[in-house]
A and B are shown apart, each in its own frame.
Chain A
């Protein structure tokens, strides 16, 4: 039987160059607090949105740059989304 892989383990396989101190996605926690559905929690394929004591947290390290969070987010202004600067972010070796 195959071992189940956690998302950190999956992301750990990817080649990734982190732009330290320069998050390409920023969230407005004030707006997120008023969100009841919080679909980002399940939809982000890298599970980078987390909920701790009712508050949304987000870590841009590991982001696959897909754009899912930006489109599924029901609260205008909650997510400020751009691509990482050139050469930074994920670099698929297979794709």
Chain B
């Protein structure tokens, strides 16, 4: 063994990479964790919410020490037209307890914390280094190349995010196609904690999560999101790239329109934007899972497309963390023999965990969401129906059934019935 040779090199200090580093270093492996940003998290952004279950399993009680923003106890989904918002709102003590906790997070701080945990466990963290290529010998991955330097390892974990140019270079993954990815653009808007709590009807430390469908994307496939942080609000939009081809407005202009929507602007009133960020989201779920392991290499997290988007819920970080854990466990049980055969245990562990199970469960959902009525006709229908229900102007009130059927018939009764059926089946 040469003195520069590590047991494991991990490319990318996001949740997947740092989790793997933490477990591997804890098991006595010599681990090098390489991050291209100046600090872990410097290149990362999330909507964002972390569902805590998978990290809780690895670091019990992590919420006591991790830099989390707020524990989410309130969920709201709103259907928007240009002048109307109809919301489904759930506030429950049960949402943020009993293993179902989720937290709003900001990645600069969170990713730094998790990478430091890996460092304390014994991993070597280097930042500000871009890995340019994989070092190959006899058709197997033997390390990484950064500039002039070659660093060797028994096995390399690709945790280099949604774009994963490295996985593409060695043919484990195809280039993303526009229908497989969405772009998220977000602003961090500063507001005092008490203002956030008053505005969103929250106790101290509690947080709200909101999703928006309809006018915020001007009827295109995608949606809006809002998460309350301690002293800021994360507000942004997500657009599926295949439906973003020809527009009158640019993405930042749409974000600006969203901020000025009558249902959104009161929520951020008086706030000051601190940062504007953007990132891709792998969206095609189960159908886009690449080759996950090869001779001397495994792919984890966003690089492997481990994201579940079912419209009212988007999950990525909890899958990333669990995939990092599975990769680490597979590597530990490979006993220094990192052949394709030995690393196939990674896939098996993923299949036994919620990661592949949940991706499979929702595998029909990306196709279901590829239905323009969800983003156009239905927000309009719901807005019309609810506005009619609550309007009194002295004119004679038509029978209830007629009031319901009028907007439904505009879309087409059969279409509505068929979409509802397809939606239920996809879930």
A residues sitting closer than 8 Å to B (CB atoms) are 2, 4-7, 10-11, 13-14, 37, 39, 41-47, 64-68, 70-72, 82-87, 89-95
Scan residues 268-291 of chain B and give those whose CB is less than 8 A from a CB of chain A.
268-269, 273-280
State whether B247 touches A67 (Cβ < 8 A): no
What are the residues of chain B within 8 A of A37 when measuring CB–CB? 245-246
What are the residues of chain B within 8 A of A87 when measuring CB–CB? 37-38, 127-128
26 A-B interface contacts by CB (under 8 A): A4-B256, A5-B273, A37-B246, A39-B246, A41-B250, A42-B244, A42-B247, A42-B249, A45-B278, A46-B278, A47-B252, A64-B276, A64-B279, A66-B279, A66-B280, A67-B176, A68-B183, A68-B241, A70-B175, A72-B244, A84-B130, A85-B130, A86-B146, A94-B274, A94-B277, A95-B46
In chain B, what residue has the closest Cβ to A82? Answer: B165
What are the residues of chain A within 8 A of B259 when measuring CB–CB? 2
What are the residues of chain A within 8 A of B188 when measuring CB–CB? 94
In chain A, what residue has the closest Cβ to B190? Answer: A94
In chain A, what residue has the closest Cβ to B160? Answer: A83
* A-B interface pairs (CB < 8 A), number: 145
State whether A95 touches B244 (Cβ < 8 A): no
What are the residues of chain A within 8 A of B250 when measuring CB–CB? 7, 41-42, 44, 47
Given the known interface contacts A14-B276, A71-B177, the answer about A92 and B241 at a Cβ–Cβ threshold of 8 Å is no
B16-60, CB under 8 A of A: which get 1 and which 0? Answer: 000000000000000000001111011111100000000000000
State whether B279 touches A13 (Cβ < 8 A): no
B residues sitting closer than 8 Å to A (CB atoms) are 36-39, 41-46, 106-109, 111, 127-130, 146, 162-163, 165, 175-178, 181, 183, 185, 187-188, 232, 239, 241, 244-247, 249-253, 256, 259-260, 265, 268-269, 273-280
Give the distance to chain B from A1, nearest Cβ to Cβ, in Å: 8
State whether B130 touches A43 (Cβ < 8 A): no
In chain B, what residue has the closest Cβ to A84? Answer: B130
What are the residues of chain A within 8 A of B273 when measuring CB–CB? 5, 10, 13
Give the distance to chain A from B9, nearest Cβ to Cβ, in Å: 15
Contact partner, B108, options A84, A85, A94, Cβ 8 Å:
A94
In chain B, what residue has the closest Cβ to A42? Answer: B247
State whether B44 touches A95 (Cβ < 8 A): yes
Give the distance to chain B from A65, nearest Cβ to Cβ, in Å: 6
Given the known interface contacts A13-B274, A72-B241, A95-B46, the answer about A42 and B177 at a Cβ–Cβ threshold of 8 Å is no
In chain B, what residue has the closest Cβ to A36? Answer: B246
What are the residues of chain A within 8 A of B178 when measuring CB–CB? 71-72
Give the distance to chain B from A21, nearest Cβ to Cβ, in Å: 17
What are the residues of chain B within 8 A of A92 when measuring CB–CB? 41-45, 107-108, 275, 277
